[in-house]
Amino acid sequence: MVSERSTCLRRKVGAVAVKGKRILATGYNGPPSGIRHCAETGCLRQTMGIPSGQRHEICRGLHAEQNVIIQSSVYGVSLEGSDLYCTAHPCVLCAKMLINCGVRHIFYARFYPDDLAVAMLAEAGITTEELSTGAERDDGAPERRTENEGREL
């Protein structure tokens, strides 16, 4: 799993962009290349008591989705029309970037409570789908839930 490469002390997140059954780019949360990891410096957000979902700019790391976008850009790979598989539902910052990249569908394992991200992705026509990691259906396939099922938008 891509998320296992994360060096974040608070949450390990990974993301993979796919198109036509081919992996386009991968990313995980962590600091920019050449910058010390939080394991060495300590978590700035934790030290300052910043709750999850607030003040995203106060962090040494990039989000997994941001690193997918950066990696695809470095290697000249378009994300237009791709699907994104991610550990967590994107925050509003990543949602806006994914909208502009032309991602068409987002699959995620855990919901991240960001109402504006949900609203903007829906307005852009990007579908999101929660994939259950433990439960299975009668046919053996993982359970799936679309954004509109069981969650108020």
Q: Hey, which residues are catalytic here?
A: 65
Name the amino acid, one letter, at 14: G
Beta-strand (E) ranges in the chain?
14-19, 22-28, 83-88, 105-110, 127-136, 142-146
For residue 49, give every residue at least 6 positions away whose Cβ sits within 8 Å of its Cβ, in sequence order, or none: none
How far apart are the two ends of the chain, measured CA to CA in Å? 30
Cα-only R_g, the chain? 16
Instruction: Give me 24's structure tokens.
Output: 């386009």
Ramachandran sector of residue 51 (left: φ over 0; alpha: ψ -120 to 50; beta: rest): beta
